[in-house]
Amino acid sequence: MAKTKKKKRKLNKKRFFIFLLIFLILVLFIYKIFNTNIKNIYVLDNEFLTDQEIIDLAKLKDYPKSINNLSYTIEKRLEKNKYIISAKVKKRNFISKVYIYVKENYPLFYYQVDNKTILYNGKPTTDKFSVPTVINQIPNTVYDEFLEKMSKVDKTILDRMSEIKYSPNEVDIERFFVLMNDGNYVYLTLNKFLSINKYLDIIESFDNKKGILYLDSGEYFDVFD
């Protein structure tokens, strides 16, 4: 019986070089990932904390290797800080550019009754800031809604508010008196509280004169003599 000869399979050079090329690209890609340092850091949506403070909290000030600082890890570092409610990190340009988006837990007012600063999320802190001072006790039935309204006041207006007094009358138990830094007085009720965001436009319409602005009943401005 005749023996059959086994044919030797020739090496397909084209397939081999394609495989080798893909392998090398993969190796270079992995090498690049493991050796890419963060080159650019962009901090967005912050007003209270500085860019550098956020970069320091994220532990990125020395522009370390990106692979050792995953987006999730950076977010958790930032969210440990009491002045940051949430953080979102995105990487681009082959993970060398880092974009940090933050929602800040900034201070709203100083509650003189408790000697505490109240933050955006309602939590108190003993840290002191240049914020409006609530000078008297606000009843629990009113406080939560007051806090919610204060969190929606524009920061430019918040910076102009000096003192806040809970000042109910026989008509409205949710009435407040606000002393502004420019010397004007403002009366507000909770249901019209956010009207104060129009404060600058209202005052400008009265040629920036000084007086009492009644936002608790319309937008009446009583100019000082």
Rounded to two decimals, the pTM is 0.83
- φ/ψ of residue 143, rounded to 5: -60, -45
**DSSP assignment, residue 130?**
S
pLDDT score recorded for residue 3: 57
Ramachandran category for residue 189: left, alpha or beta (phi over 0 → left; psi -120 to 50 → alpha): beta
Q: Are 150 and 108 in contact (CB under 8 A)?
A: yes
Extract the tokens encoding 79.
Answer: 């969210």
34-104 in CATH: which number? 3.10.20.310
pLDDT score recorded for residue 26: 78
Whole-angstrom CA distances from 145 to 24, 90, 100, 192, 193 are 62, 35, 31, 12, 10
Q: What's the CA gap between 101 and 165, in Å, rounded?
A: 35
What is the tens place of the pLDDT at every residue in 38-54?
999 999 999 999 999 99
Long-range residue pairs from 100-103, CB within 8 A, at least 24 positions apart, any chain: 100/41, 100/42, 100/43, 100/44, 100/54, 100/55, 100/58, 100/74, 101/44, 101/45, 102/43, 102/44, 102/45, 102/46, 102/49, 102/54, 102/78, 103/45
pLDDT score recorded for residue 11: 63
- What does the domain layout of the chain look like in residue ranges? 34-104, 107-223
Which residue positions in the chain have pLDDT lower than 50?
none
Q: What's the CA gap between 143 and 136, in Å, rounded?
A: 12
Picking from 156, 132, 159, 160, the residue whose alpha carbon sits closest to that of residue 146 is 132
What is the tens place of the pLDDT at every residue in 108-131?
999 999 999 999 999 999 999 999
Picking from 128, 127, 154, 150, the residue whose alpha carbon sits closest to that of residue 47 is 154
pLDDT score recorded for residue 157: 97
- Class of CATH domain 107-223: alpha beta
